[in-house]
């Protein structure tokens, strides 16, 4: 069983198209947060048209598009409301069917648990510098040898308490010092993949879509990419200053 893990696509259709050219897998796991973003409907349709099976993990962004943002309704002009308008009712219903986590046995790796934030939460933050004492409670009760998370948009591969914890990186809006698409290929081994594509054209498309509230993320990921080390410290601070945020 070869698995391609595609996380945090965020409506970046050109990035997804480039990655799919390179995917050679028996199963695609979409690790959450294909929404919100510029071309969410097209991204969803493209993935549903694949001729390999796809499993879908619910990200906090997808969930907000399904349920409305936490703590309030849809404000006209905000990113979630804007993304909702770009999806048909049927597409939104499909998003609602995403699973909290997906577990798959991968030859040579063992049982692999795919989640968005952490195994217990789609908003909990795991970075390459999360201390073991903050990570341990998140991994409690997990019956898998490998955990693949996302949400923080930078790839890593760590050994924690006898388990392997990886971040697949982000296809659409990576924070790891390079304007490209990042994903994970699991099979006989683990490959942290980087796919180059025409990023300036994709940025132009996203900007031209009229999508609100995404300019900062686009700049920090694809125009002047921040390093993984920077973003890890940034998210780690956020996680410890808002411990209720899961």
Residues lying near Mn ion in the complex (CB under 5 A) are found at 33, 59-60, 151
Question: Half-sphere exposure of residue 14, counting CA atoms within 13 Å on the CB side?
Answer: 16
Cα–chain-centroid distance for residue 11?
Answer: 11
3-state DSSP percent of the chain in helix, strand and coil, to 5: 35, 20, 45
* Closest distance to Mn ion from the beta carbon of 193 (Å): 20
Q: How far is the CB of 4 from Mn ion (least distance, A)?
A: 19
Report DSSP state, residue 220.
Answer: I
Minimum CB separation of residue 73 from Mn ion in Å reads 21
- For Mn ion, give the closer residue by CB, 25 or 126: 126
**For Mn ion, the closer CB: 35 or 109:** 35
Is 84 or 109 the residue whose CB approaches Mn ion more closely?
84
Which residue lies nearer to Mn ion by CB, 61 or 109?
A: 61
In 3D space, the residue among 131, 67, 123, 55 whose CA is nearest the CA of residue 93 turns out to be: 67
Largest Cα–Cα distance in the chain? 49
Q: How far is the CB of 32 from Mn ion (least distance, A)?
A: 6
Q: Which residue is nearest to Mn ion (CB)?
A: 151
**Chain mean position to CA 113:** 14
Angle at 202 between CA 198 and CA 205, to 5 degrees: 145
| Least distance between Mn ion and beta carbon 36 (Å) | 10
Choice between 161 and 245, CB closer to Mn ion: 245
């Amino acid at each position: 069983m070869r698995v391609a893990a595609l996380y945090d696509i965020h409506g970046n259709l050109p990035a997804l198209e480039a990655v799919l050219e390179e995917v050679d897998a028996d199963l695609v796991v979409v690790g959450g947060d294909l929404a919100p973003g510029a071309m969410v409907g097209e991204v969803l349709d493209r993935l549903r048209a694949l001729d390999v099976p796809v499993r879908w993990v619910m990200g906090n962004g997808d969930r907000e598009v399904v349920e409305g943002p936490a703590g309030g309704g849809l404000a006209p002009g905000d990113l979630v409301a804007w993304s909702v308008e770009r999806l048909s009712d049927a597409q939104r219903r499909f998003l609602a069917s995403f699973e909290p986590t997906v577990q798959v046995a991968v030859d040579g790796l063992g049982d692999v648990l795919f989640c968005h934030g952490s195994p217990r939460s789609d908003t909990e933050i795991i970075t390459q510098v999360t201390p073991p004492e903050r990570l341990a409670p998140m991994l409690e009760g997990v019956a898998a040898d490998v955990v693949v998370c996302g949400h923080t948009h930078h790839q890593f591969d760590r050994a924690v308490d006898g388990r392997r914890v990886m971040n697949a990186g982000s296809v659409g809006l990576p924070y790891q010092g390079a304007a490209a698409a990042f994903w994970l290929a699991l099979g006989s081994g683990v490959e942290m993949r980087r796919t180059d594509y025409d990023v300036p054209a994709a940025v132009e498309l996203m900007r031209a879509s009229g999508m609100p509230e995404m300019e900062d993320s686009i700049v920090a990921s694809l125009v002047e990419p921040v390093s993984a080390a920077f973003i890890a410290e940034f998210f780690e601070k956020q996680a410890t200053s808002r411990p209720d945020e899961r």
